[in-house]
Each structure stands twice: as structure tokens, then as C-alpha cells.
Amino acid sequence: MGRGGFGEVYRAWMTTPGGLQTEVALKILRPDPLRRADASARFRDEGRMLSRLQHPAVVRAFDWADLGDGHVALVTEFVDGADLLACVGIGIGERPLLEVIGSVASALHAAFHGTDPDGRPMQVVHRDIKPTNLRIGRHGQVRLLDFGIARFGSEERESRTESDLVVGSVPYMAPERFSERVSSPAADVYGLGCCLYEGLTGEPFHRDTRLRDLSAMALDPRAAAEHLATRLQQLPATVHPDTRALLERCLSHDPARRPTADEVARACERLATEVAGPTLRRWCTQVSFPEDTSFAATWTGRRVTEGEEDPAGEEADRGRPRVVHQAGATVDPDLLEAEPPPALSTTPLELVVPPVEAPAAANGWGARLAVGTVGALGCALVCLSVAGALGTLMIAVLGSGW
């Protein structure tokens, strides 16, 4: 479904030991020898964080698995629909847009003030609020995605961000993030303001996305105020005055003048009852959602196994994928990292990933992931099963043709 610097995302089916099926998203981390340790730590942090953020607008995490050769996968909830950027393209109205922004603002408030199992505040700051990370389901559900670069205060986190490292999507970053080393919840509110502006006008708040120009404006409050005044003039005349006022506060150069995420959530909830137009749920039933972009991906047509003994018992091959079957054909394991991936037949390819260490005898878990292309439409089928003392977990991943 998607590919970025971190890796790839696949659409999937998860089958529980009892036979219940749930559609999920499978996020597979790209192995990078130069940043593998930190990237893997962030990946585990993201999964741990999502599993504890119990909010209806935060995407749920189910589990993560080591697929071998540096590949780790995070299994999360899949929301059938489109991101906010795509919804802006098909004309989302002010009322459903306010519902989306309000739901995400509520999630941000809960993420910062939520507690870990020991009762300590998690203090999560997302740091990458942008339209493509706001997912809208076909039934009106809203989810905040991608906590991969989020900062949180728990001592249990594994990754450590360098003090002078600025991370995020530059056009949606708050001005203070260009000069301050620690992100605050107010920076996420600024990102929400950018999303609200883009939803109302169909254009980004910052049309000039050059880092040099944006950083210069971030250090010049007067220039930032002039830019805000100019952009607010581009709002449609139909925008509710209170929506305009809320937007102006969210996009303030001074973080102290911005509302809190909870205040944004409450304001959007109130405005959604005053603004004309269909509710978010009704709007979702009236529009044709754009299909997710899909493509032939690295794991399409492959099956791997995690957590099982190497049947050949060869120490040299432990942790390395080994071709088992593909309708008489073979694929060199060295091609696993090739870009673009090698051409595969429509018959599923089965790979076995022997473990680095033998699993525990009492309650060890294994995982099997199978990816196969299906039919002339180019759909891909991936099956991931996690087997252990409690049963088998299967995930079938559809790679294209959604």
C-alpha cells in the first residue's frame, strides 16, 4: 500500500487461533545497516506506545514480529478508506473536516496525558501531524497514524533522539521546531492548524516548501504574522467566523497563543453542530473514496517463517531466508534486498527464515508470513501465522488491487 524511507506497508488479514479474521496493516521496516539499531528501537517503541494509547482515534497495534535479516514488522489496525489529503481532493466540507480535526485533537490530548502501566504520564508528542497521517474510514471513523518519530516521556523507550536533530515534515512543522530542541504539544496543534487550513482551501498553508525559506520565516515573527494574514484572506467566504478564529490561533507563531489540543477538540465539536452540511459519517457514505495506490512490493510472492528450528541444522544459514518452493523455480536469497524486487510468478513463493536462537520450549512463538500475487488483477496474498502453545495466528496480506 505504501513505501517510504522506513520500509513498506501491506494490507493484511489476521486469523486468530479460533478462526476469527481481522483486516490489518503490516508495516515492515527496511533494514539499514547504518541505522538498524535505532530504527528497530523506534519501531518497538512505536508498537509499545500504540498498544497503550486506548483512544478511538489512535490506530491500534496488535503485535510485531522479527522476520529475519533485519526485517521487523508491526501489525496494526487497517482502516479501509483514505487519508485526509485524498479526501481534500474529492471535496471534504467544513463540517466533516471539523469532526476529523476534533477527533485527532482529542487523540493528541489523550496521548500526552495518558499513563503507562506504572501510572506515569506518557507525554506523547506526535511530531508529524500532516494530512497523509490522518486516516478517514468509509464509515466515518478517524485514525491518527504513524507514531514512528513521536517523542514520549516514558523511561521504558529504547530509542534516543539526538538533541540537535529536527525530525518531521517541514511544511507542517511549527516555527519553534526549527530552533528549539524539545517538541511540545503546541507543535502538534500547529500541524493540526495546517491540516485544517488545507482542508478548507484545498491548498497547503505553506506553498513554498523550501527548507531555507521556511526556517527563515520561523525565525522572523513579523514575517510569519504577515504570511498568516495573507493566507487567511484566501479562506472561502462560507467558512464560519469561529472556525477562522480557531485556525488563526492554531497557526500562531507564538506557541503560548495556540489553544491546547483539548481546547481544539471542544471547539471543533461545538462548531460541527453549528456549521451547515452533512456529518462526517453521512459524507463518507455519499462520496466515492479514491482507491489506495498499490504496486509490486518487496514481499509480494514470498513466504517466510520465524521462530522455527532450521531443519538442516546449518549454523551458517541461520537467520538467512532460504528458498523452499516456487513451482519449480528458484530465487537467489541475495535478491531479497534488490530494488526493484525480482519478478515473481503468480504461484506463492515459500521462504523459511531459521531463527538465530532456538525458541523457548514452553511458550515460544513462531510466525509465518506468506505473500503471493493472485490473478490477473495483480492482487497479492500474504499469509502470516504465529504458532505457539496457544494456537496459530495467520495474516493474509493483500499487496495490490484494493
Which residues are part of the catalytic machinery?
Answer: 128
Q: Are 30 and 82 in contact (CB under 8 A)?
A: no
Q: Which three cell numbers stand for residue 35?
A: 541505522
Q: Are 15 and 387 in contact (CB under 8 A)?
A: no
Among 189, 206, 166, residue whose Cα is nearest residue 254: 189
Length of the chain: 402
- CB burial of 255-278 (b: ≥16 within 10 Å; e: otherwise) equals beebbebbbbbbbbeebbeebebe
Report the alpha-carbon distance of residue 115 to residue 97 in Å, rounded.
29
Residue 97: which residues within 8 A CB-CB, separation 6 or more? 196, 199, 200
Tell me how far apart the alpha carbons of residues 180 and 163 are, in angstroms, rounded to a whole number.
10
Biggest CA–CA distance in the chain, Å, is 72
Please tell me the distance from the alpha carbon of residue 344 to that of residue 300, in angstroms, as a whole number. Answer: 8
Full DSSP string of 216-283: HHHT-HHHHHHHHHHHHTTS-TTS-HHHHHHHHHHT-SSGGGSPPHHHHHHHHHHHHHHS-S--HHHH
H/E segment holding residue 10 = strand 7-15
Rounded CA gap, 14 and 12, in Å?
7
Q: Which residue has the cell 537467520?
A: 319
Report residue 243: phi and psi, to 5°: -65, -40
65: alpha, beta or left, given left = phi > 0 and alpha = psi -120 to 50? Answer: beta
Report the alpha-carbon distance of residue 195 to residue 105 in Å, rounded.
11
